[in-house]
Structure 1
């Protein structure tokens, strides 16, 4: 994948993660969150940081799937049939 396609994926994913971060933490206090029945030991900033990168990763995966599913048949089949499959 070329650099332009990566930017098509990463930049909108960054913006989506920032918006998700603002929306989620407008309603949820990180110090009130629990993981497997125990409270989180990290500071608010640590929870904000981890959540942002999780949101960003999910958005990047979504964007990658969109770009991959939007490719044409000729892009997908380019180079196919030039070498026989190993037997």
Structure 2
């Protein structure tokens, strides 16, 4: 299930990074970028690659937050242990049930 949720986060973030890449480099030339007052000195391909991965990592945050907010409270608070091995106080353990 977590692998599926990872796909739910990574794919929209990938598409957002693609869109950001298109928008940013439609108006900015990678060879004219400066860092610390001087030219960056990277090739166009390097700037495109690094910026794409930066955009992808930045886009992962909002996508992960959207998936987290979509989860039911029971999914977020679910105890990860087997019912027979749950520690005291873990939701669903025998000690947390009231008679």
1:27 maps to 2:27:
yes
SS in 2 for 1:42: coil
Aligned residue pair count: 84
Give 2:55's aligned residue: 55
Give 2:68's aligned residue: 68
* Structure 1 residue runs of 4 or more that deviate by more than 2 Å after TM superposition: 82-85
CA offsets per residue over residues 17-56 of structure 1, 9 Å max, x none? 1111011000000111111212111101100000000001
Q: Distance in 2 between matches of 1:68 and 1:36?
A: 38
Q: Distance in 2 between matches of 1:16 and 1:59?
A: 7
Instruction: Give TM-score scaled by structure 2 length.
Output: 0.75
SS in 2 for 1:57: helix
Deviation at 1:69, TM superposition (A): 2.6
Q: How large is the RMSD of aligned CA atoms in angstroms?
A: 1.8
Deviation at 1:83, TM superposition (A): 2.3
- Give the number of the structure with larger relative contact order, counting CA–CA contacts within 8 Å between residues 6 or more apart: 1
Instruction: Give TM-score scaled by structure 1 length.
Output: 0.84
Deviation at 1:84, TM superposition (A): 4.3
Q: Distance in 2 between matches of 1:20 and 1:75?
A: 32
Q: Which aligned pairs between 1:33-48 and structure 2 lie closer than 5 A? A: 33-48=33-48
| Worse-matched range after superposition: 16-25 or 59-68 | 59-68
